[in-house]
Amino acid sequence: MNYTLHQLQIFLKISELKSITKASEALHLTQPAVSIQLRNFQEQFPIPLTEVVGRQLYVTDFGIEIAVAAEKILNEVQSINYKTLAFKGQLSGRLKISVVSTGKYVMPYFLSDFIIQNEGVELLMDVTNKSRVIESLEQNSVDFALVSVLPEKLKVDKITLMENKLFFIASTKLKLDKSLSRKKLFEEVPLIYREPGSATRNAMESFIAKNKFAARKTMELTSNEAVKQAVLSGLGCSIMPLIGIRNELANEELQIIPVKGLPLKTTWNLIWLTSKKQSPAAKAYLDFLNIEKDRVIKDQFAWINNI
């Protein structure tokens, strides 16, 4: 057999995502390129690795066994690379972080200098909703998680990074009656929500429930970016984190509507399981944050205090 490491990597990703399209996106390859590599890999086995039923791709029992073996091989190759770098005196290893969707506007700034300074460290950052972030932490599949609400059922340690502010946001195209009371504003203006499980959704619903507003829900979207685009188009208003709308405020595409009780304030925390045995890369990153986080906040996020 003459399969390559590249083919193993592609097949492993296909087996994880059950989709050639999703695998090509995850690997930053074209769909035809992934299909060709899958076909070439399959030709080396007399038993099918995958099958298509309807329009859904499934991995066969044999394919699952090959995927498990592929993962072991790729991990061993990665281990060789890390040991080589370690022998040369360089910090190496994987740093796995799960980030709630709004955190994508925050976390890269706390990572960039560390990754630049440590070329042997491989960064794997998954951006998803709060529920999946906590699930990945609970399953011990990541080193760290970035959240604005601490999980109640897990024993975690944390580093506090920075404050998170949420405001009532509208498009500047939307002409709101400034005489509307808070109650009328939430009852008459269409509202756009994040999906259930989102910390932003939870904060928005808690504020509405606390004030006993009969909110008019019109739309539910699965990312902050989607909510922002919907608000920009004039479909409605939302309570959104300030961190993700800096450019739109500067360009006067979005406006903050003053509402008593807002902004809501939470805190971005980088958390990890108390029982977690940290890798050298993870320990080094914690040391980096303890020294550099205040500088990062001053250099990258000072503008937040001006709003």
Give me the pLDDT at residue 175, please.
Answer: 81
- Please say whether the beta carbons of 47 and 62 come within 8 A: yes
Residues 6+ apart with CB under 8 A from 2: 44
Alpha-carbon gap, residue 186 to 169, rounded angstroms: 12
| pLDDT, average across residues 3-24 | 91
- Please say whether the beta carbons of 108 and 244 come within 8 A: no
Alpha-carbon gap, residue 217 to 202, rounded angstroms: 14
- Please say whether the beta carbons of 98 and 145 come within 8 A: yes
Question: Helix 20-27 and helix 5-17: axis angle, to 10°?
Answer: 120
> With 90 as the cut, is the pLDDT of residue 147 above it?
yes
| pLDDT, average across residues 192-218 | 86
Give me the pLDDT at residue 161, please.
Answer: 95
Locate tokens 């998954």: which residue?
126
Alpha-carbon gap, residue 149 to 153, rounded angstroms: 12
pLDDT in tens, 156-174: 999 999 999 999 999 998 8
Structure tokens at 202: 């939870």
pLDDT in tens, 24-52: 888 888 999 999 999 999 999 999 999 98
- Based on the number of CB atoms within 10 Å of its own CB, is 70 exposed (0-12), middle (13-18) or buried (19 or more)? buried
| pLDDT, average across residues 175-202 | 85
Give me the pLDDT at residue 44, please.
Answer: 92
Exposure class string for 222-256: b at 16+ Cβ within 10 A, else e:
ebbebbbebbbeebbbbbbbbbbbeebbeeeebbb
pLDDT in tens, 57-79: 999 999 999 999 998 888 787 77
Query: Of 93, 248, 67, 268, which Cα lies nearest the Cα of 164?
Result: 268
More confident position, 44 or 178: 44
pLDDT in tens, 77-98: 777 776 666 656 667 788 999 9
pLDDT in tens, 231-253: 999 999 999 999 999 999 999 99
